[in-house]
Structure 1
Amino acid sequence: MKRVLTVTLKILNLPRIIIAYLLVNFARVSSLVEGNMKRLNYRYDVAVDSFSGMLATCLSRDRIFQAILEHRLTDSNKIFGYIFRIYFPTLAQ
């Protein structure tokens, strides 16, 4: 039962991850974000090789990474930051 719930949550979260992936690539900050994800990946000890897999893991586990990514996207283009904030709302705005 727990595995079914986990798979269901991953499927429901997939559109948000796709939006975040597209925003990172359009903003051309993927190299900076990849460095942040590699640092977090060692902290979580998750063996994910793909960029999108690491992005999904870091976005689902760490609010600080979400804030950093929002900041990087907003610095690149304010519209990208607003779109990211719609799909990944923070508790305190």
Structure 2
Amino acid sequence: MKKILLLLLGLILIPFSAFAISLSEIQSDPGRYVKVAEGQTTTMYVDSYSIQSLRYAPPYYTIQGKIYYVSYTGNCIEKSTGV
């Protein structure tokens, strides 16, 4: 029974790892992932292909895009949609 549950858990988690991004993928494509901020423990990248204009009414502008936070202390990459 334990082996069946572990197998089902593994099958459920496979799609989540298929959409993961790595630091080497971000750093190897600087035209797409633009570094916008960097600290001692974190770096923030913006996916330039995901940028959309939400409001274009000069002098007021609102844009949206995918932001990747790379945490070196936590050894993880977090994705969010920023406005």
- The TM-score bracket by the shorter chain reads 0.3 to 0.5
TM-score (norm 1): 0.32
Query: 1 or 2, which has the higher strand percentage?
Result: 2
Structure with the bigger RCO (C-alpha within 8 Å, sep 6+) is 1
TM-score (norm 2): 0.35
- Larger radius of gyration between Structure 1 and Structure 2: 2
Query: 1 or 2, which has the higher helix percentage?
Result: 1
